[in-house]
Amino acid sequence: MYSLLVAEGPDAGARFPLPEREPQLIGRSTEAIPIRDDSVSRRHAELTPDQGRWWIRDLESSNGTFVNDAPVLERVPIGPGDRIRCGDTILVLVHSEETTTGGGIRAADPTLTEVIILPEAPSSSDADHRLLPLLELATESDPISMVNGLCSVTGDLMRADATALVRLNDQGGVIGSPIIKTTDGENPGTPLELPRQLIQAALASQRPRIALVDGGPSIIAIAIRDSDLPPAILVASRPQSSPWGPEDLDLLALIGNIGGLLLLAADRTTHASRTERLAAMGEAIAALSHSIKNILQGLRGGADAVELALNRDNTELARQGWTILARNLDRILALSLNMLVYSKDRGLDLESRQAGTVARDAVELLAASANRREIDLECRSDPAEPPIPIDPDALHQVILNLVGNALDAVDDRSGRVLVTTKFDPDREEVVIEVLDNGPGISADRRDRIFEPFFSTKGQRGTGLGLAVARKLVEQHLGTITLLEGNHAGATFRITLPASRSDELDAAGTRGPRALPDGDLGVTFS
């Protein structure tokens, strides 16, 4: 049985088994293998089992399908180790049993291959100035770059064809997928065979150990240890025609010492990031719980008023209770929508629409709430405004948030909220403004109003409305600002480009990111 391993992309590390005799779709549609990469079309490619092997064909995707960097123009066969690129995602076809050993490393079969472990060699040299590139890795802020750099620099220093880093647990099992690098960036075609005897010998020694694989390469390995970390094995491989010398052994020993510090720093950075995320999550949960509690209290108060009115047959009291219920139902709906938008990253479904039409729809939705409070809510749009590439649902949410905030800020009976849209031909952009005659926003709070969970409404606000609005506007490549002014109230201005160079198709599929020079993003299987 085969599986697809995601080697690169938003789903990196995921594994998707391929059931025998069942064709599979790759894409973002609900019936396809679930790929979250928005450069992948909804129906991107099809995998079909036929005559004991798998075949792939492109389904006229926006960005094409590539197998080992060759474009798929018709149905082509694929085999273990082949790299399938769809947009920014690279998948590797592997045997399912290969995935359990951690990606691109396969244990050498002792019944088929003779492995000779050379005796441990003594140390004979001091620190090498060539280790400077390795020491510079300690300045990396990204733990993934730090660990990948350890493999890459080791390969350069050791003049190896391939290097690998294998993280082990306390029982000697592989943790996660090994990191494998080559000097030329090419896929060797077959998994790197790592003899179990070499792992055992390296773990039992303080010095590098060498294994000569019959008919294969010469592999050198050292165990990286730290009291705060599980062990790891750093491996380098090259042909037996280029044997490892005493200087190589000493150099790898020094690399192993520095490697332990790098792995410890990477793990601590990861732990710090995880702790920071958990702290932010706790803050978000506390803020949301507080907001939900306040809304539920409002619902409870409205329900009690309605119940009392029914018992007394008091229509006026029932009307007042229902107003409280309706207002808090609107609040919980707005909170739910903002939570979904803020917590979930999704692409835009762009289509050519007039922003004024979307603004009028949003204003009409809030008109009943404004009428109940006798607030003057008006929308003025430019009849000459051209259609622009927007996601109508996303822009609708932005305007709902801004107008909802404005309605909360103004007083009953005397409040006024105005929404305007106009086209600026000189700057080739559409400008949307939301104005109110409320108390405005004080100068000491202006710098924080777009921060998540910061609210100027006290217990009535969640602090998500403006944060969500900014996120959605920036996804449109636009801007949202609070204008300075001496007049009463607040004015928010949104600018949206009338056209965009990366304008998406209706399926929401963007172009793949360009790969850096010399980096083909290849991982081994």
Lookup result for tokens 């065979």 = 193
Whether pLDDT at 486 is above 70: no
* DSSP secondary structure code for residue 468 in this structure: H
Identify the three-state secondary structure at position 377. strand
Query: Per mean pLDDT, which of 140-154, 191-205, 368-382 is the most reliable?
Result: 368-382
In this prediction, residues 470-497 reach a mean pLDDT of 88
Q: What is the pLDDT of residue 91?
A: 86
Dihedral sign (CA 12, 14, 16, 17): positive
| Per-residue confidence (pLDDT) for residue 387, from 0 to 100 | 93
Proportion of the chain above pLDDT 90, given as a percent: 19
Of the two residues 349 and 375, the one the predictor is more confident about is: 375
Cβ–Cβ < 8 Å for 172, 233: no
Place of tokens 């809510």: 377
**Phi and psi (nearest 5°) for 455?**
-135, 145
Give dist(CA 521, CA 270) in Å, integer.
22
161 CB neighbour count, 10 Å cutoff: 18
Considering only CA atoms, which of 313, 218, 308, 230 is closest in space to residue 267?
230
**All domains of the chain, ordered by start, with CATH?**
2-99 (2.60.200.20), 105-272 (3.30.450.40), 349-503 (3.30.565.10)
Percent of the chain, pLDDT > 70? 76
pLDDT for position 111: 47
**9 near 37, Cβ under 8 Å?**
yes
The winner for highest mean pLDDT among 36-50, 125-139, 330-344, 499-513 is 36-50
- Average pLDDT in the 502-513 region? 52
Confidence of residue 497 (pLDDT cuts 50, 70, 90): very high
> Among 18-22, 200-204, 207-211, 388-392, which range has the highest average pLDDT?
388-392
Instruction: Note the pLDDT of residue 101.
Output: 40
Mean pLDDT within 76-80: 87
Q: Does the global pTM surpass 0.75?
A: no
Give the pLDDT band (50/70/90) at residue 189.
low
Of 65-69, 328-332, 503-507, give the lowest mean pLDDT range. 503-507
* Average pLDDT over the chain, rounded to an integer: 79
Tokens 């890459």 locate to 152
| Model confidence at 445: pLDDT above 70 | yes
Across residues 105-116, what is the average pLDDT? 52
Among the listed ranges 105-114, 211-220, 262-271, 482-491, which one has the minimum average pLDDT value?
105-114
Decide if pLDDT at 152 tops 60.
Answer: yes
The residue behind tokens 């939705």 is 365
288 pLDDT above the threshold of 80: no
Q: Which residue has the higher pLDDT, 411 or 500?
A: 411
Tokens matching residue 418: 């105005």
Q: Which helix (H) or strand (E) holds 398?
A: helix 392-409
Q: Name the more confident of 108 and 144.
A: 144
pLDDT in tens, 171-185: 667 776 677 777 664
Higher-confidence residue of 436 and 525: namely 436
For 64, the 3-state DSSP assignment is coil
Per-range mean pLDDT, top range of 18-22, 108-112, 292-296, 428-432:
428-432
> In the chain, what is the greatest distance between 2 CA atoms, to the nearest angstrom?
99
Express each pLDDT in 258-285 by its tens digit.
Answer: 787 788 777 777 777 677 666 666 666 7
- Give me the pLDDT at residue 423, please: 94
Ordered alpha helix ranges (H), 313-354: 315-343
Mean pLDDT across the stretch 433-450?
Answer: 87
Q: Which residue has the higher pLDDT, 490 or 461?
A: 490
